[in-house]
Amino acid sequence: MARAILITGTSTGAGRVIAEALAFAGHRIFASMRDPNFKNREQANALWSRGIDVVPLDVTEDWSVDRAVDMVLKKAGRIDVLVNNVHIFPTGVTEAFTSAQAKAVFDINVVGLLRVTRAVLPEMRRQGDGLIVNIGSIFGRVTIPFLGIYGSTQFAIEALSDSLHAELAPLGVEVVLVQRATCPAARKQATSRESVERMAAYGAAEDEPYGRLPDLFARHQPAASSEIEDVPSALVQLVAMPKWCRPTRSVVGASLGADLINATAASVQMRILDDLGLKAGAICDLPDARPSNEGAARAPPD
């Protein structure tokens, strides 16, 4: 069944390919990005040429998010799926990040996700139906050096996803999380004078381990795996699955142990939800069934 899908962060990387893959699967796609008429005109034109609607949206601005959601509703009449994909991936010595730099990362990766989610939820609740897919990271489960700020935002997305999953299930809205594995290629935090001075103080204690990160991923990542292909494929599969049959979490790429932590955390989470009289997970093939704990850790079918 064709669905109206809003996707954030589609100007580059996996977001653009996600939009194209879901459009190819027959869905009506609203690909959002900042400034599609000027700064990102080339990227927007590429999507428009494939019959994909492009919507201007800046996740750091309430008015921009609200306007984008209104545009989608006017054109499609509903929003069936939200894919929260937009993110930035700063790396480097945690001490080198100023408070302003850290706030900027959280405003995009965490608060931005919440802004867009809050904007679509009134319509999804009115429909009594909807799917929200949060694109997170294995670094919301596994902590490694030089990803302190980025990882903190991904841990926050884990908490938001779990809470939203339990709170919205009784209202007919399903929330799932895709944990991608991405290899950091270079330092991306702003290079203020203070940041450079603090990074320099670490010397070889930073440079040598940081330089080993790509090799770490190369050893663990399956040879034929590519995030630019695997994440869109996972999204197409998740959207196509029956309601309440989707896994709460899906690891895409090298898990680095995140899958083991997921399994342990799921059992603890389910006990807490049971104590609260809430449910998480799914009962498959029962269209009128309420979600239950049985499918909380279920993987997508092959």
Question: Buried b / exposed e across 4-30, counting CB within 10 Å, b at 16+?
Answer: bbbbbbbbebbbbbbbbbbbebebbbb
Residues comprising the chain, all counted = 302
In a domain, 27, yes or no: no
Q: Among 168, 132, 140, which residue's Cα sits nearest to residue 7?
A: 132
d(CA 230, CA 235) in angstroms, rounded, equals 9
Question: End-to-end CA distance of the chain, in Å?
Answer: 20
d(CA 141, CA 196) in angstroms, rounded, equals 29
| Partner residues linked to 201 by β-bridges | none
264: number of Cβ within 10 Å: 10
pLDDT for 291 equals: 37
Q: Count up the domains in the chain and report the number.
A: 1
d(CA 302, CA 299) in angstroms, rounded, equals 9
pLDDT for 250 equals: 94
Cβ contact 110:156 at 8 Å = yes
- Is 210 an active-site residue? no
- Selecting among 30, 89, 150, 244, the annotated active-site residue is 150
pLDDT for 251 equals: 93
DSSP secondary structure string for all residues of the chain: ---EEEES--SSHHHHHHHHHHHHTT-EEEEEES-TTTTTHHHHHHHHTTT-EEEE--TT-HHHHHHHHHHHHHHHS---EEEE-------S-GGGS-HHHHHHHHIIIIIHHHHHHHHHHHHHHHHT-EEEEEEEEGGGT---TT-HHHHHHHHHHHHHHHHHHHHHGGGTEEEEEEEE-----S--S---HHHHHHHHTTTHHHHHHHHHHHHHHHHHS-TT--HHHHHHHHHHHHHHSPTT-S-SEEEES--TTHHHHHHHHHHHHHHHHHHHT---S--TT-TTPPP-GGGTTPPPP-
In a domain, 161, yes or no: yes
pLDDT for 221 equals: 60
Residue 272 φ/ψ region, left for φ over 0, alpha for ψ in the -120 to 50 degree band, beta for the rest: alpha
pLDDT for 254 equals: 78
In a domain, 269, yes or no: yes
Q: What is the CATH number of the domain that holds 183?
A: 3.40.50.720
Place of tokens 């800046």: 58
pLDDT for 92 equals: 82
In a domain, 248, yes or no: yes
pLDDT for 125 equals: 98
Per-residue pLDDT of the chain (302 residues; tens, 9 = 90+): 899 999 999 998 789 999 999 999 999 999 999 999 999 999 999 999 999 999 999 999 999 999 999 999 999 999 999 999 999 988 888 998 989 999 999 999 999 999 999 999 999 999 999 999 999 999 999 988 888 999 999 999 999 999 999 999 999 999 999 999 876 554 445 455 667 778 778 877 666 676 677 676 666 665 444 556 689 999 999 999 999 999 999 999 878 889 999 999 988 888 888 888 886 555 554 444 333 333 333 333 33
pLDDT for 222 equals: 54
pLDDT for 296 equals: 38
In a domain, 34, yes or no: no
192: number of Cβ within 10 Å: 14
**Domain range for 102:** 87-295
